Amino acid sequence: MKIYLLPALMLLMSAYLYAQRGDDFKKNFFSNIVSSYSKAELFDDISFGSFDLLSANLKYSKENNLQKIAFVPFKLLNKSSVFNDSRLNFTQKDGISTLGYALGYDNTNPYNKSKKVRRAFLATPPLPSRRRQQENETKEDYEKYLEGYNSALDAVRTDFMQRLAKNSFSFNVGYNISLFEIIGGDKVLNADSLIANQYVVKAHSFSTDFNYGINEDWGFNGGFSYIRKRQSAVEKQKMISYYGINFTVAWRAIRLQKEEQLKKDKDYLKSLFIPSIIVGCSFEYLKADGDSAYYEKGIKHQSILTPFLDFKISPKSQFRLGVPIRKFESVNKNQGWSRTVCSIFTCDCQYIVMFSSNRLTDVRAGNRYTA
């Protein structure tokens, strides 16, 4: 039985978008400089994302094709819980399906009741409640009042999110299990009289990641991974250990809108999304440890440096162009370099609300909710 994960991922995304359709309160998204796709090549299948509520990635390159969704479902429950920033990972990469779960912490999440969010909230100027139309007030005058009132709310909300964007950080500790393409059915012998589909599990992966946004324009990510993996499902294949590290830095080099236009842009007012071109670079290193006969592709250790450009046109239209530069050493002491161009289409967003004491506030709508 083959695993077809991509249709399930698309179904999950459709269900999520449908659930968001009728609730303005749940449409509060916060776009961060730290990309959900910070792990570019070696660990892209086990990454849990950064600050995003939901991220979807499609990747095409000569050596690496990937479909991925990372999701933080508990943020939608509007409740304080140790699972608030728990993340789910669903990935299909070159026929291998990966499922994962991570516990984490995000200091921009108000349900964590962090001092950062509280200080940002208390620093926002208070606004009077929206009044009703007065008896002697014309409809046109009242609509003009509402327009000005909503503009003031937008300004307060934007100021709040700009404060959150400074020195924002998140981290997670997670586990992923990777499954071979064929996970059931009759056993099949290969040309060497070995069972070709003896194993179901390809890898067990443990990872930890730290994401930090200095402000709206600078951010970085770092992480460590420990992986137990076999190179194929063929009988007698052993799992060996892999140790890896990764680091990414990103800079918003070009803003595609002027400040005056940005303050009137609906996407910026709603989510702090800035149409821009981001310049960045990621570094990844992976080393195998154990019986060299079972090293994947015979590679002892490898490192990949990936300069990239992120084109953020709109929340629904984002893509990356990267040039992974790989250096490796094989078990027979051969060394080599390789370079390819990859394209990544991605969409990510962050859910954010505000709180004061034990009450939550949706600033844009001017509504209050009891925690």
The average pLDDT across 216-232 equals 93
Q: Of residues 63 and 30, which shows the higher confidence score?
A: 63
User: Can you tell me the distance from the alpha carbon of 42 to that of 290, in angstroms, rounded to the nearest whole number?
Assistant: 19
Which secondary structure element, helix H or strand E, spans residue 268, and what is its range? helix 266-271
The answer to whether residues 352 and 270 touch, using CB atoms and an 8 Å cutoff, is no
Residue 251: predicted pLDDT: 94
What number is the average pLDDT over the span 19-37?
50
Q: What integer pLDDT is reported at residue 358 of this predicted model?
A: 31
Strands of the sheet containing 359-362, edge to edge, are 354-356, 359-362, 367-370
Q: How confident is the model at residue 356 (pLDDT cuts 50, 70, 90)?
A: very low
With cut-offs at 50, 70 and 90, classify the pLDDT of residue 103: very high
144 residue type, one letter: K
CA dihedral sign, ordered 214, 271, 83, 370: positive
Choose among 313, 324, 307, 304: nearest CA to 346. 313
Tallying the residues shown for the chain, one arrives at 371
- Only one residue has tokens 């910070």, namely 38
- What burial class does residue 303 get, using C-beta atoms within 10 Å of its C-beta: 0-12 exposed, 13-18 middle, 19+ buried? middle
Whole-number CA gyration radius for the chain = 24
Q: What is the mean pLDDT of the chain?
A: 78
369 vs 302: which has the higher pLDDT = 302
> Bridge-partner residues for 55, per DSSP?
70, 348
> Minimal CA–CA distance to 227: which of 39, 35, 38, 45?
45
Question: Residue 12's pLDDT is what?
Answer: 52
What is the arithmetic mean of pLDDT over 96-110? 88
User: Residue 298: what are its φ and ψ, rounded to 5°?
Assistant: 70, 15
Q: What is the pLDDT of residue 195?
A: 82
State residue 188's pLDDT score. Answer: 79
d(CA 234, CA 236): 7
Q: Which of 236, 233, 310, 262 is nearest to 158 (CA)?
A: 262
For 78, the token pair is 């509007």
Give the model confidence (pLDDT) of 282-299 as tens digits.
999 999 999 999 999 899
This prediction has a pTM of 0.78
pLDDT, tens only, 145-183: 998 888 888 888 888 888 888 888 888 999 999 999 865
pLDDT band, residue 23 (cuts 50/70/90): very low
